[in-house]
Structure 1
């Protein structure tokens, strides 16, 4: 499995602003290894960073995109699902029974849910509000999504084990079509080797390793 090393920082050395420009982020490895196996369109650069303290996992997506699409119809899951967004999936093991999904658009609206195999989604489930903090910022030619998740919640859901978390890291990019609608390009850290776009499969996950 592909592995990303999550470096440790001291407690209180990083605060979430949405801009992703805190000095502590220079200590993070920069992951840019993203692909779209099912689409020939050029992928704009994506930078993912993660750090941890004794209490939190911090994550930072910087997506280089001058034409962000957000469906502002309302704040329902449908609108978020039709918008540009970044995604993190966490699983206890390859059975995906269950796994936990965070999908975040540039505003930042959160679509979080628990899932089981065969895309069995429970949208009534939410990550505990006190355990997650997410903010975002739109730049001229990019947007940033920055957040923190408590290690206590990751342990509660049996996701953080022996200093590792099995994780999927993704991006959905919506392109305007000639007839006016928007269609997504699906982008992933790990190529799941599927014929059709599918993040909800064991082969799309890698490992975040705390070092």
Structure 2
């Protein structure tokens, strides 16, 4: 599996503002290894970073894009689903039973749901609001998203393995206007799932986030 190392930082020092501007982000590895295996067009630059302080997993995306498509109908999950966005899927096991999907648009709106194999999606499920914070920022040429996800929630959902790694899918959906005026998404991923058609909802699209100096405490 592809592996990204999540470096550790001192607790209570990180603050997210949506701009990926905090000095601590300089301690993170920069992941740029994204592609669209089902599309021949070149993918605009995407930078993913992650850090942890033992209490929170901090994740950021910085995406080059000067033609954002945002569905502003309302703040529903459906509007997010029709918008440019970044995505983070987290799985509890290789059987994807279950896995959790976090999809965030440039306005920091969240489409979250729990899923099981064969695209069984539970859109009524929500990631606990007390366990996640999201901020974003838009410029004329890009947008960025930051998340702080509590380690406690990752433990409760059995998403951290004994050796301190998390199995995750890191994705992007870019909507482009077609000649008929409709918008069609280009699907972009860190791990090529080797599928004939775009599919993030498969075990082969996941990689590994390895948390530095972190191990699950043994139950007494």
TM superposition score normalised by structure 2: 0.95
Query: Partners in 1 of 2:42 and 2:72 — Cα distance?
Result: 26
Q: For 1:138 and 1:90, locate their aligned partners in 2 and report how far apart those are by CA, in whole Å.
A: 26
Offset of residue 41 of structure 1: 1.7
For residue 41 of structure 2, give the secondary structure of its aligned residue in structure 1: coil
Count of aligned positions: 211
Partner of 2:217: none
- 1:40 CA displacement: 1.3
Q: Return the offset for 1:3.
A: 0.1
Gaps of 5+ in 1: none
- Using the TM superposition, give the Cα deviation of residue 126 of structure 1 relative to its aligned residue in structure 2, in angstroms: 0.5
Post-superposition shift, 1:7? 0.1
Q: Which residue of 2 aligns with 1:147?
A: 147
* Distance across 2 between alignment mates of 1:42 and 1:76: 31
Gaps in structure 2 of 5+ consecutive residues: 213-220
Q: How far off is 1:93 after superposition?
A: 1.2
1:131-160 Cα distance to aligned partner (Å, 9 max, x none):
000000002211000010000000000001
Shift of 1:178: 0.9
Task: Indicate the residue corresponding to 1:99 in structure 2.
Answer: 99
Q: Compute the displacement of 1:198 (Å).
A: 0.1
What is aligned with 1:20? 20
For residues 181 and 88 of structure 2, the distance between their equivalents in structure 1, rounded to whole angstroms, comes to 29
Give the C-alpha shift of residue 29 in structure 1: 0.1
CA drift of 1:169 comes to 0.1
Q: Distance in 1 between matches of 2:78 and 2:92?
A: 27
What is the deviation of 1:77? Answer: 1.9
Mapped to 2, the partners of 1:207 and 1:138 lie a distance apart of 29
2:198 matched to which residue of 1? 197
What TM-score, normalized to structure 1?
0.99
The CA RMSD over aligned residues, in Å, is 0.6
